[in-house]
Structure 1
Amino acid sequence: MFPFCLLALLGTSCMWDPGSAEECASFTDLDLHHSIAGTSLDVRLLLYTRANDTCARILNHLSPFSQPELNANRSTTFIIHGYRPTGSPPGWYDLLAKLLLERDDLNVIVVDWNRGAANINYWAAVKNTRKAADNMTTFILKMKERGTPLSAFHLIGVSLGAHISGFIGTNLNGSIGRITALDPAGPEFTGKPPDSRLDPTDAQFVDAVHTDMDALGFRKPLGHIDYYPNGGGDQPGCPKTILAGSEYFKCDHQRSVYLFMNSINQTCNLIAYPCESYLDFLDGKCLDCEKFGGEGCPSLGYDAIKWKNSLVKRGQTMTFFSTNNWSPFCKTLYRVDIVTWNLETRWGFLTLKLHSKDQETEAKIDHKAAEFKLYTEKSLLAQFDRDLQPVERVSISFSTGNVLQPRYKLRVLRIRLTPLHDSNRTTLCRYDLLLEEKKEVIFRPIPCENTNF
């Protein structure tokens, strides 16, 4: 690099910054030609810290602390990508590194194993996962020699990177502090024994997010806690047909990454509900977070570590929640308790709207028909795409979904709306409503006189 102190030639003194001479490292950028020809594994480690948050430094595998920015006294987070069929760099790794550094003073190391992951032959990339894990294990042991405890390492693995994280954890006898698996890869790992994939024994705490379990991801639980947003399969906002091109294949799979990034900057809190299935969650059967323990229901993402002790004691825990199709993804949840007084049982669907000034938000409870019986309280889950406060009006409509049958009426003795994410908010009630099918009824809610009624 040409020095800025050219005036030294004229006898003028100047200062020379040796660090400025070092070029920034970049992620390996390949193309489809490399993928078709096949690539041989080469692992590069790109270091980001708050001192060089926009300029990565290459780390030496055998002498990591030759790079002065690497600090043995800081916690270290690795970002490990997955299969790269076209050879291009992941579009999210630099943003993820930036968000991590904004949140905490860390060593963030992006693991670039693109030469090894870029191969039209997926099975060749799978074969390279163990080699990449062995390479990184050696590096971590070098850091351990300089005093960094294994508990200070956090591995964030995406797709194949999740299983690489697991293999590293196995190599180190489960002493790694944390592994976060973002939609761990399913093909070639489904049905394999624990020593051939990620499992809860690979780290002191393992959390996994499943967003494409019916295609590229892994279906069954792999961690101490497993999150299944929107049931773990199709994600809202992602293309439904192949006409969308590459987005059809990668949108669901990558949603796990964006959900995790959303959790780092704390834009909103994605609360997950321990449950047997997504259908049970939608049915409102899993909303009592007090049963989970004093910490309440766990959050997805970066802060999941707060629930480590209770989750490790509890064993493998499956959790479910729903999201919007855009960032920050959070929905606003209410438990809806309805008592009806029709003599005959009614089956149907509800649509609720919350109104605040000139804004409104809607929740459709239509995943299946609800049963309304005489003087029997029915609890439902209403999920709104945003939070409106204060709630000035509520509208509700009832439908049986039957086109050819006569229109029915639903006689409501009491409806109660309980906000689930803020216990300090008022529970809203209304008494004595008559809902005619497909006709919207608007009312002003009042504070409930007796929430046990």
Structure 2
Amino acid sequence: MRGSSYVLVWLVLHMSGGGDSVPAPNALSFLGKSLASVTEPLSTVATTTGSNTWAVATSLGQGLQTVGKPLGSAAGGLANVSIGTAKSMGGGLKNVGEPIGTVVVSAGSAGVGVGKTVGQVLQKEIQTVKQPIDVTLTYIGSSQCQNVQKLLGVSYQQLQGDNEPNLDNLEIVYKTKYTTTTANIMNAPATLRQARKFDNDDRLVVYFHGFTDDPGQKSFTQLSQAYLAKDRMSLIALDASSLIRWFYARASTFVQYIGEAIAAVLAALVGHGQDPAKIHLVGHSLGGHIAGYAGKAFQLLTGKKIGRITGLDPAGPCFSHLEPRLRLHHDDADYVDAIHTDAGVYGLSDPVGHKDYYPNRGTMQPGCLLQTCSHSRVYELYAESVLNPTGFPSVRCANWAAFRQGNCEYDKTSYMGYASKPGNDGLYFLQTNLSSPYSLGAEGCKFRNTDGIVMSVANVLG
């Protein structure tokens, strides 16, 4: 474009004669005509072309619009259909997925249930094999207990006189719904008389814990909660943990001294108006024998008997081979009942009361693998019986085999635990649940075979 301008200027200058003079008119006229003759047709063509191009573009746009609108509508419709399809598909998947999820969850729950059942079956088989071993070992150890005590210098005879245990640390715990009062055993009679002035219930219930236990632990906690929930005004516990917390051979000898000490407290209370017939001693394990010794000593001090003693799985080791005067016995109170849940190991097998209850054979408790569990189950059963006095009916039978065969005196039934009453003395059997609530009601008097394979075979073979 710049080169064409130079040529045009050169022509204009030279056609005018050169130099700086103005071109001649004739020359300018000629040039204008020449340019017009060239540019007019070009302008006409450009205008025509532009018009045609605009028309073509307009037509093309209109054409595209004509085609695009139905395409857009179709695409929009397709999109809506796709969205609807997606929604329908999602709903369908949800409808399919939810029942599948439910099935999976149900299958998972069933799996947990099956696993739990298998675990319980295995536990029962292990328990069955383990039980006779534990019984044998306990029998051997218990039969030698007196010799061991003498060898260690902790027999009752060896500890008399200057060697007697120091009982000054024994304490009495007086518990109500709102307060807990602790008193040294030396001050216990005066403290209890003062504290019970506001107690409208003249029944006196005293709890004795077992080996390594104390009133702050689970056994007394459960019993006291049950008693106080039933409108009992108060409950008393002996804290003998300072003497029977360790060294079982010695602790089993100390129970006699402890029982004699508590008898003196009870005798003092009777001297101030307490009716001995309304005294109820409840003892777990070693505590059962403490209650027995207390009953024996109380008779010597007062010439009267305590109203009732309940032995909760009275301790077996070191007491299985002793004469009745050296352990809990039915002569220790007007009425003595005992519940056996770990008979032959931590608890006594032999009957010791007017009535002896043997839930679930009296040995391996359902849901327990360790003997400590079976031994502790007894206070759970008793606590439940306080809240539900008629929850544990039992039937009098000669033994467990008779109960299994239904060969019992079904006209002779008795409630195990809190509601147990004198009359129809003997051995009573029942079954319970494996977890709380343990009561089966009347169904507990009918044998249900819950034994494992090993035990079932043993029963068949006799």
Query: Does residue 323 of the first structure (1) align with residue 432 of the second (2)?
Result: yes
Query: Does residue 253 of the first structure (1) align with residue 383 of the second (2)?
Result: no
Aligned to 1:93: 220
Per the alignment, do residues 91 and 65 of structure 1 end up closer, same or farther by CA in structure 2, a change over 3 Å counting? closer
Distance in 1 (CA, whole Å) between partners of 2:444 and 2:313 is 29
Per the alignment, do residues 54 and 276 of structure 1 end up closer, same or farther by CA in structure 2, a change over 3 Å counting? same
Task: Tell me by how many angstroms 1:213 deviates.
Answer: 0.8
Match of 2:384 among 231, 242, 262: 262
Aligned to 1:157: 283
Deviation track 1:197-246 (CA, whole Å, cap 9, x = no partner) reads 0100000110100011121100010000000011111110001xxxxxxx
Query: Does residue 57 of the first structure (1) align with residue 173 of the second (2)?
Result: no
Q: Secondary structure at the match of 2:253?
A: helix
Q: Provide the identity percentage.
A: 27
Q: Match for 1:304: what amino acid?
A: S
Aligned to 2:343: 213
Query: Does residue 117 of the first structure (1) align with residue 239 of the second (2)?
Result: no
- Please tell me whether Structure 1 or Structure 2 has the larger radius of gyration of its CA atoms: 2
Q: Match for 1:139: what amino acid?
A: V
Q: Match for 1:165: what amino acid?
A: A
Distance in 2 (CA, whole Å) between partners of 1:286 and 1:271 is 14
Deviation track 1:131-169 (CA, whole Å, cap 9, x = no partner) reads 211221111111111101111100000000000101111
Aligned to 1:172: 298
1:1-400 alignment, distance < 5 Å? 41=167, 42-49=169-176, 53-59=177-183, 60-65=187-192, 67-70=194-197, 71=199, 74-84=202-212, 89-119=216-246, 121-173=247-299, 175-239=305-369, 248-266=370-388, 269-286=391-408, 288-289=410-411, 292=412, 297-305=413-421, 308=422, 310-311=423-424, 316-331=425-440
Task: Tell me by how many angstroms 1:104 deviates.
Answer: 4.2
Deviation track 1:86-129 (CA, whole Å, cap 9, x = no partner) reads x894312122112112224344101111100111x101111211
TM-score (norm 2): 0.56
Task: Tell me by how many angstroms 1:69 deviates.
Answer: 3.9
Task: Tell me by how many angstroms 1:287 deviates.
Answer: 5.7
Distance in 1 (CA, whole Å) between partners of 2:428 and 2:200 is 35
TM-score (norm 1): 0.57
1:430-449 alignment, distance < 5 Å? none
Deviates most, 272-281 or 89-98:
89-98
Task: Tell me by how many angstroms 1:336 deviates.
Answer: 13
Aligned to 1:385: none
Task: Tell me by how many angstroms 1:62 deviates.
Answer: 4.5
Is the 2:174–2:192 Cα contact (8 Å) retained in structure 1? no
Per the alignment, do residues 61 and 235 of structure 1 end up closer, same or farther by CA in structure 2, a change over 3 Å counting? same
CA RMSD of aligned residues (A): 3.1
Please, which runs of 5 or more residues in structure 2 have no aligned partner? 1-164
Matched residue pairs, number? 284
Is the 1:133–1:167 Cα contact (8 Å) retained in structure 2? yes
Task: Tell me by how many angstroms 1:271 deviates.
Answer: 1.1
Distance in 1 (CA, whole Å) between partners of 2:307 and 2:444 is 37
Deviation track 1:36-65 (CA, whole Å, cap 9, x = no partner) reads xxx96521101123xxx2421124225234
Q: Secondary structure at the match of 2:385?
A: helix
Q: Secondary structure at the match of 1:92?
A: helix
Q: Match for 2:435: what amino acid?
A: W
1:396-415 alignment, distance < 5 Å? none
Is the 1:281–1:287 Cα contact (8 Å) retained in structure 2? no
Distance in 1 (CA, whole Å) between partners of 2:259 and 2:399 is 33
Q: Secondary structure at the match of 1:82?
A: coil
Is the 2:313–2:340 Cα contact (8 Å) retained in structure 1? yes
Deviation track 1:334-365 (CA, whole Å, cap 9, x = no partner) reads 6999xxxxxxxxxxxx99xxxxxxxxxx9899
Deviation track 1:377-396 (CA, whole Å, cap 9, x = no partner) reads xxxxxxxxxxxxxxxxxxxx
Task: Tell me by how many angstroms 1:68 deviates.
Answer: 3.1
Is the 2:395–2:429 Cα contact (8 Å) retained in structure 1? yes
Q: Secondary structure at the match of 2:259?
A: helix
Q: Secondary structure at the match of 1:282?
A: helix
Per the alignment, do residues 64 and 276 of structure 1 end up closer, same or farther by CA in structure 2, a change over 3 Å counting? same
Deviation track 1:372-417 (CA, whole Å, cap 9, x = no partner) reads xxxxxxxxxxxxxxxxxxxxxxxxxxxx9xxxxxxxxxxxxxxxxx
Task: Tell me by how many angstroms 1:322 deviates.
Answer: 1.0
Deviation track 1:165-212 (CA, whole Å, cap 9, x = no partner) reads 011111122610000000000111112111100100000110100011
Per the alignment, do residues 134 and 279 of structure 1 end up closer, same or farther by CA in structure 2, a change over 3 Å counting? same
Q: Match for 2:278: what amino acid?
A: A
Distance in 2 (CA, whole Å) between partners of 1:336 and 1:69 is 40
Distance in 2 (CA, whole Å) between partners of 1:149 and 1:271 is 29
| Structure with greater contact order relative to length (CA < 8 Å, sep ≥ 6) | 2
Q: Secondary structure at the match of 2:408?
A: coil
